[in-house]
Amino acid sequence: MLYVCATRAASAVFPFGERVSMARRKKIYEGKAKILYEGPEPGTLVQYFKDDATAYNAEKRDVIEGKGVLNNRLSEFFMTGLNGIGVPTHFLRRLNMREQLVRACEIIPLEVVVRNIAAGSMSKRLGIEEGTPLPRPIVEYYFKDDKLGDPMVTEEHIAAFGWASQQDMDDMVALALRVNDYMSGLMYGVGIRLVDFKIEVGRIYDGDYQRLIVADEISPDSCRLWDIETGQKLDKDVFRQDLGNLTDAYTEVARRLGVMPKQATHLGKPKLIN
């Protein structure tokens, strides 16, 4: 059914139990898993988490009910923790089940990946068996360009093409390693190994100064998370490799971290009660 609203403040409750603002707001950007809308105050954006899952540069795609709700909560949890230990992020506050208010920033067109254990593209590229611990955390950069399949790049490319300065790169590595320490410890505490993850970094301006903050999301969509005891995958590889139910895996991560109630009954569609 199409709702047409007359007033800016109107809202409606949709089948997932969410209160969705019906105000017509400006869409700034739509990606594979999230949408960014203009925020209520200058310098803010609303980040909406979709249920869409994609892998292999969007060759594999599906809609996984409840994924957006889980990632909204998990990203809030991780970024609130990071803000709390002085690692700046774009997260301001959660607005509802699928949306959070974030600081608007200029996204640096790079994916910064940190690896603790060989997996995924590193295993393929270098022939290192998946699961091999690395001698130290390794930071890699990928150029954000879907058409090119996000190619790996070096600091030389980044400096030569002006995507970021050497100072930015030093700051990005420092940020990424602090995120790695925080997330590794957090996960280890609940019996999960942080194998690798990706962050995106944004630039914000404070008067004459600029600084870098962690942006986008931190969630099981952007991390590899393995159960320490069993090796079970609790991240997007469950979808990439058809290993089972993705929502169950993400719910398990959220449950262990105490982020979601044990029975997250509100994730699915409402059931008719006779």
- Examine residue 193 and tell whether it contacts ligand UDP (CB under 6 A): no
Q: Which residues pair with 198 in a beta bridge?
A: 113
# residues contacting ligand UDP (CB under 6 A): 14
What is the smallest separation between the CB atom of 212 and ligand UDP, expressed in angstroms? 19
CB of 99 or CB of 216, closer to ligand UDP = 216
- Residue number, 119 or 179, with CB nearest to ligand UDP: 119
Report CA-CA distances (Å) from 227 to 105, 110, 172, 242. Answer: 34, 29, 28, 17
E strand intervals along 26-95: 27-30, 34-38, 44-49, 52-55, 60-63, 91-94
Residue 31 or 270: the one with the smaller Cβ distance to ligand UDP is: 31
- Helix (H), strand (E) counts: the chain: 6, 16
Q: Give yes or no for residue 150 binding ligand UDP (CB under 6 A).
A: yes
Q: Would you count residue 137 as binding ligand UDP (CB under 6 A)?
A: no
Cβ at position 177, least distance to ligand UDP in Å: 15
**Apex 194 CA angle, 189 and 197, nearest 5:** 140
Report the C-alpha gap between 8 and 28 in whole angstroms: 19
Selected binder of ligand UDP within 67, 193, 224, 233 (CB under 6 A): 224
Half-sphere exposure of residue 258, counting CA atoms within 13 Å on the CB side? 3
Residues with Cβ < 8 Å from 225, sequence gap 6 or more?
187, 192, 193, 194, 195, 233, 234, 235, 253
Determine, following the binding rule CB under 6 A, whether residue 223 of this chain makes contact with ligand UDP. Answer: yes
Tell me the closest approach of the beta carbon of residue 13 to ligand UDP, in angstroms. 32
- The answer to whether 239 and 224 have CB atoms below 8 angstroms apart is no
Amino acid type, 82: L
Q: Is 233 in the site for ligand UDP (CB under 6 A)?
A: no
Give yes or no for residue 109 binding ligand UDP (CB under 6 A): no
Residue closer to ligand UDP by CB (options 118, 257) is 118
Query: Closest distance between ligand UDP and the C-beta of residue 262, in Å?
Result: 27
Binding site for ligand UDP (CB under 6 A): 111, 113, 119-122, 150, 196-198, 222-224, 236
